[in-house]
Amino acid sequence: MLESMMLKGGIIMNIWNVFTVVRGAIIAITLVVLMGHNPTSAQETRKITPNYLRCEYRVNPLGIDVALPRLSWVVESNERSQKQTAYRILVAGSPEKLNQNTGDLWDTGKVKSDETIHIAYGGKPLKSRMFAYWKVQVWDGQDMPSAWSETALWSTGLLKAEDWMAEWIGYDVPLSNRQKLDLQLQAANVHYKRFKCVYLPSPYLRTDFHLDKAVRRAVVYVTALGLYELHLNGRRVGNDYFTPGWSDYRKRVYYQTYDVTDLLRPGGENVVGAILSDGWYAGNISNQGQRHYGDKLRLRLQMHIEYEDGSEQVVASDGNWRASDGAIREGDIQDGETYDSRREMVGWSGQNFDDNGWKPVVTDDNIKIMVQAYPGIPVHGTMEIKPIALTEPKPSVFVYNLGQNFSGWARLRVRGKAGDKVVLRFAEMLNPDGTIYTTNLRGARATDTYILKGGGEEVWEPRFTFHGFQYVEVTGYPGKPDMETITGIVAHSDLPVVGSFECSNPLVNKLYSNIVWGQRSNYFEVPTDCPQRDERLGWTGDAQVFVRTASYNMDIGAFFTKWLVDLEDGQFEDGSFPSVAPTVHGGTAAGWGDAGVVCPWTIHRVYGDTRILEKHYDAMVRWVDFLDQRSKGHFSPPLGSWGDWLHIDAPTPLELIATAYFARSASLMADMARAVGRDGEAEKYEKMFNDISSAFTNRFVTSDGKVYGDTQTAYLMALGFNLLPDKMRPRAAERLVDRLRERDWRLSTGFLGLNLLLPTLTKVGRIDLAYRLLTNREFPSWGYTIDQGATTIWERWNSFTKENGFNDPGMNSFNHYAFGSVGEWMFSTLAGIDTDGAGFKRIIIRPQPGGDITWVRAGYNSIRGNIAVEWKFEGDDLILNTTIPANTTATVYIPAKNEGDVTESKGPAGQSPGVRLLRMESGAAVFEIGSGSYSFVSKGAKSILMQKH
């Protein structure tokens, strides 16, 4: 019931704007607290509160199939250095029992522990279709209990295959002779399959059922081969799009769970229906053509209705359902949707609809695919964008500029007569004559068509397609459109936003905006490379170089929980991971296949998640074994051909990249093995890393520190992956600087080198060059793309230039997040927020000011709570305000000549409550602080930093 209440209405909210306002208010309040905090006030009340309860990373998830779901919460307090010393979790089968403080499913009792994340359920065994209501109480450092938290819930899905009683059903739309021939040719000829599309109308399926008694709860479990949109009594169920999501349909398909209690009508006829579409299952994927997994769209639905008297009724998909085609004549993710409103069947999913003309559905007993609960984050329409300009470059050709490149679709408003056809085409850029530029879309048609029924204003949005675009071309419009004709609907996997960043440099602020928009556009069910052309694949190399940046911007825990299954599903028999996941074509490559190790390690580091390591441990072992078996004396021959993708005339030898990433994976395996208690294996991988590092040095590095290939990326991998003996590092760092100098202080790195560039320069003591590269406006640089009009991260630094126009259209995306991996450095170094160990239990606050940036304000809502940092210069002094979540500690580095030059809340820092001086280190006073809000001032810090840089 809670889920249905949350999903009712279908109104698309501009959540990003709401978040921005809320985040701004939080930051403002935090800073007021920072500047006015009096840690010794006798008026303060000691208080600790558990909030933000989650199960498997999600708030109130329905239909999970995890046998021992993990529970997490955030501890909040209004005083410094507050700790949780114990907790008690109650889990009950009903809210009434929970309200009585009865945990009939699980009562932990008082557990002495400061842990707040990933606490595995340990109560009575969970059965299918159970609802579990839970709350938590915690004790503070003085053993004083908190109030109980608010109630949260989760429910289980259909945990066993035999729990499914529903049949797979569908409707095979009658084909013309030409369509039959084309489908035969598609099946027999890959080339024909790629270039000759056969679009079929979407099937509409329905059945009716009666309810004779008062309903206590109704829950529906639903999946499809293809995409589905679910309806109940004339209303759309939920606000998810592109369900059941993209998986490797050869191995598994996901189902969703919805509480539909409020949509039922007791005491009479009820109708459930669904619309199907090709989606990833049968539609175009990349340039591979249609029907990659199958050609028969099927639905499986099971609704369990519990009556107030304790009896139950099951409504399931079976041969009694009826079917028809309707208004959706074509629905393809890449090519677009065609909707003929003259064929609308008004009320088709409601009562009193005459379906006598509909056909019986077909049932399919041959589908043996594994059906599992969806573990990820669904796609939502998250905000609306209004056009900023309307032009008419040619007669009756109208072009809308929405001012921002994004993924989603357009809402159309139109009046006209029946049969009028309005065609919408989508593009990221314009030609010089003002028409839309679509050459870079390659084979993606990216066209939606709406045919009017007439009789008043008509408002339409597609259901089963999305585009990457900033511009919408409208043709065939009856009359002259206006600024209300088109509205952009932004759509993506609706991950919780956890990061905010702002600084004194407008260029860097725009870069941050572009990074976030690139992630928003491409975290679309899987981490795709681009949302616009005929590709949209989960490229593994892109995913692994960006994953740490992604985690600062959004909560990616559930998203990657799902995608790492896709990645393992694609693992080849020899142990290699694919270059794209879900896998649609073969092959692996160094830096791409390594995503199978880098991404789980990153999720563990950010969220303290060891279960994800255990789940994928064997797959990671197979990958490293694959690398080891093909190596020769711990030296790796070339692996794949991607190399340092899209470098600037500086190819790094493939064998160097392969060996460096072999070492990187071995190093991370050692860390993960130790994290899950496999110390013996950790020693094995540590030795492997050391052996590879020695082989790397012997094969690729001269005695004076010159690295084979002599490229920026070669030095960045040698230094950034810690492959060099200490004595060689200074000379290699000098050579890295030389490679920058010879290019007039410009980068030459590609995808694999770029995410190492600024962190490595910082690590070797050249943060001045890191700032120079960050704020550079000359080609190639982030500033250069911004000056060319970029509103997202581009695939190429010169995808478009005002002087020379467009780059090679064969590989020229204007929404490609990989070069946005610099966001990690912006948070960890510029703002100075990082984790010390796994899961932000211990936090590092170490902003490193530089360049012309005079202030930074950033926030990160970690798995343990919100971390806030603001630093700024006032004259020669540095002011650092920070907030640390309850139940954590932080190590704070503040530039200073000596500890006496640092104050906190206007008193000596070392004497301030919650603050402890640890040491002086490399021109910084290092303090340990407990949770709470602090305001540090370091006298003369600006001069110290200027001398240092």
Angle in degrees, CA 485, 488, 493, rounded to 5:
155
Q: Cα(830)–Cα(871) distance, rounded to whole angstroms?
A: 10
Kindly name the residue from 535, 655, 870, 899 that is annotated as catalytic.
535
Give the 3-state DSSP-derived string for 270-335, with helices as H, strands as E and coil as C: EEEEEEEECHHHHCCCCCCCCCCCCCCCEEEEEEEEEECCCCEEEEECCCCCEEEECCEEEEECCC
100's tokens: 């009585």
Burial class of residue 917 (count of CB atoms within 10 Å of its CB; 0-12, 13-18, 19+): middle
Contact 902, 894 (CB under 8 A): yes
Select from 4, 12, 53 the least CA-distant residue to 488: 12
Helical H segments across 335-429, by residue range: none
The C-alpha atoms of residue 19 and residue 93 are separated, in whole angstroms, by 34
Phi/psi at 138 (5° precision): -130, 160
In whole angstroms, give the CA distance from residue 136 to residue 73: 8
Exactly one of 330, 502, 655, 795 is catalytic; name it. 795
User: Helix 595-607 vs helix 654-675: angle between axes, to the nearest 10 degrees?
Assistant: 40
CA nearest to 75, candidates 818, 865, 826: 865
Is 614 an active-site residue? no
Asked, as a colleague might, if the bond just before 244 is cis with ω within 30 of 0, I would say yes
How do beta strands 523-524 and 499-503 pair?
A: unpaired
Residue 177 CB partners (closer than 8 Å, separation 6+): none
Count Cα neighbours of 110 within 13 Å in the Cβ-side half-sphere: 11
Alpha carbon distance 404, 521 (integer Å): 11
778: which 2 tokens? 């000359």
Q: Looking up tokens 């949770």, which residue turns up? A: 931
**Listed residue (330, 349, 351) closest to 339, CA to CA:** 330
> 495: which residues sit within 8 A by CB, 6+ positions away?
377, 523, 554, 555, 556, 558, 559
SS3 804: coil
Give CA–CA dist 818/750, Å, rounded: 9
CA 289 → CA 180, 243, 292, 449, distances in Å? 17, 21, 7, 21
Residue (of 258, 254, 281) closest to 372 by Cα position = 254
Query: Nearest Cα to 520, choosing from 441, 410, 603, 406?
Result: 406
Residue 230 sits at the vertex; the CA angle it makes with 228 and 235, to the nearest 5 degrees, is 145
Answer yes or no: are the C-beta atoms of 198 and 290 closer than 8 Å.
Answer: yes
**Residue 535 is among the residues annotated as catalytic for this protein:** yes
Catalytically active residues, by annotation: 535, 795
